[in-house]
Amino acid sequence: MAARPRTHKVNIPNLYCKLDRRTSKVYWQYRHPITGKFIGFGTDGDTAREAAIAANSMITDQQSKQINFLIDMTFKNTTSKDAGMRVSEWADKYLSIQEERVLHGEIKQTTLKNRKSCVLVLARRLPNVRLNNLDTKSLAAIMDEYKASGKPRMAQILRAVWGDMFKEAQHAGEVEPGFNPAMATRIPRAKVSRARLSFEEWKAAFEAAEKLQPYVQNSMLLALVSGQRRTDISNMKFSDVWDGHLHITQSKTGTRLALPISLFLPELNMTLGDVIKRCRDRVVSKYIIHHTRSHGSAAPGDPVGGNGLSRVFMEARNMSGLKFPRGTTPPSFHEQRSLAERLYSAHGIDTQTLLGHKSASMTEKYHDDRGANWITLAI
């Protein structure tokens, strides 16, 4: 006689299920691998599976830490390479240092978030390796995996963050001075695939945006005339204009800029003041770029977030029917910042100050049109 079919297959260690014949419900239980006690996980199978996987992982990590503690006690009085902080331990300490830097205003919350993701990659791959035993080969192997999967930019970021981790470890005395296997790896080369935006392409997208809410065209004009990032454009208020200048505190760098409202872009035949005046409408709002009608949870007068600006710019770009070279990513809202730099540079404006860059080399990156235009020989 064949066995009855099982409708609740359990392939997760320490997870069990049983049928209550009185209610015809299936109840899930988790058996603690150390104490042997059962813990009720309810009737939702998916939730029980996720909880069991998380519990197994937590117990494994706890056991691993206990074993490491015993090993550390054994080598407590030794100075060999068998002693020293492990990667997982230093990762926690490094991130706490970064959190302190956020509190002191040295770095931004977004920087902490990016560093945390990179640190966790290393902490999860090589958690129990001693920090002073980490070698360049191990780090390069992880970076090569990212490059092979088409993520060379991520490999660059990993290298930079890991390099900073070891600098902090040197400062804390956890490794010898100069010991930094991350910086000994080859810098990954990442080819920029995002296409530059020409002024003619910008005009095509701008004309298509006429069918969208008024703030779409206004945000494009403000981006091109001011040369600022999308988050800063989103945060601009009418009250930021005084003494003939638009005052901006850049969210990414904290740089404080005062742009004259007389700043003039010949290609548009408009000044910064003209654009700000255009943004004033019948809707009462303290934000220069604002919703003019209800949209989702946003009410008229509410600011348009950075992601919202990117989304509507992409919509206008697609509506324009613009085509870009194969193998490139269509230009995003941020590309208007590069276009502004190239336009103003041609008119002799100090674009390094306009963009708020601390170095001329960064401004040069924005000036590079990535081969989009012809190089003309003047005779």
Q: Which domain holds residue 240?
A: 199-367
Q: What is the CATH number of the domain that holds 125?
A: 1.10.150.130
Is 334 designated active site? yes
Is 326 designated active site? no
Query: pTM to 2 decimals?
Result: 0.63
Helix (H) or strand (E) holding 111: helix 109-125
pLDDT of residue 359: 80
Give the pLDDT confidence of 172-181 residue by residue, as tens digits.
Answer: 999 999 999 9
- How many domains does the structure of the chain reveal? 3
On whether both 152 and 203 belong to a single domain, the answer is no
On whether both 144 and 87 belong to a single domain, the answer is yes
Q: Of these residues, 81, 186, 252, 293, which one is catalytic?
A: 252
Q: Of these residues, 115, 229, 290, 342, which one is catalytic?
A: 229
Is 229 designated active site? yes
On whether both 280 and 224 belong to a single domain, the answer is yes
Six token digits for residue 250: 């850049």
Give the pLDDT confidence of 66-107 residue by residue, as tens digits.
Answer: 555 555 555 555 544 456 788 989 999 999 999 999 998 888
On whether both 210 and 356 belong to a single domain, the answer is yes
The whole-angstrom separation of Cα 365 and Cα 379 is 28
On whether both 96 and 50 belong to a single domain, the answer is no
Is 366 designated active site? yes
DSSP structure string for 87-98: HHHHHHHHHHHH
Give the pLDDT confidence of 182-211 residue by residue, as tens digits.
Answer: 999 998 887 666 677 889 999 999 999 999
Q: What is the CATH number of the domain that holds 47?
A: 3.30.160
The strand pairing partners of 40, in sequence order, are 29
Q: Of these residues, 290, 291, 337, 342, which one is catalytic?
A: 337
Look at residue 373 and tell me whether its pLDDT is greater than 70: no
Give the pLDDT confidence of 284-310 residue by residue, as tens digits.
Answer: 999 999 999 888 888 999 999 999 999
Instruction: Give a yes or no: residue 276 inside a domain.
Output: yes
Is 337 designated active site? yes
Average pLDDT over residues 244-259: 91
Q: Provide the Cα torsion 270, 250, 109, 305; round to 10°.
A: -20
On whether both 87 and 135 belong to a single domain, the answer is yes
Residues whose CB is less than 8 angstroms from the CB of residue 287 and which lie 6 or more positions away in sequence, other chains included = 234, 235, 236, 237, 238, 301, 302, 303, 304
On whether both 210 and 329 belong to a single domain, the answer is yes
The whole-angstrom separation of Cα 212 and Cα 312 is 8
On whether both 106 and 42 belong to a single domain, the answer is no
Is 357 designated active site? yes
Please check whether residue 244 is in contact with residue 261, taking contact to mean a CB–CB distance below 8 angstroms.
yes
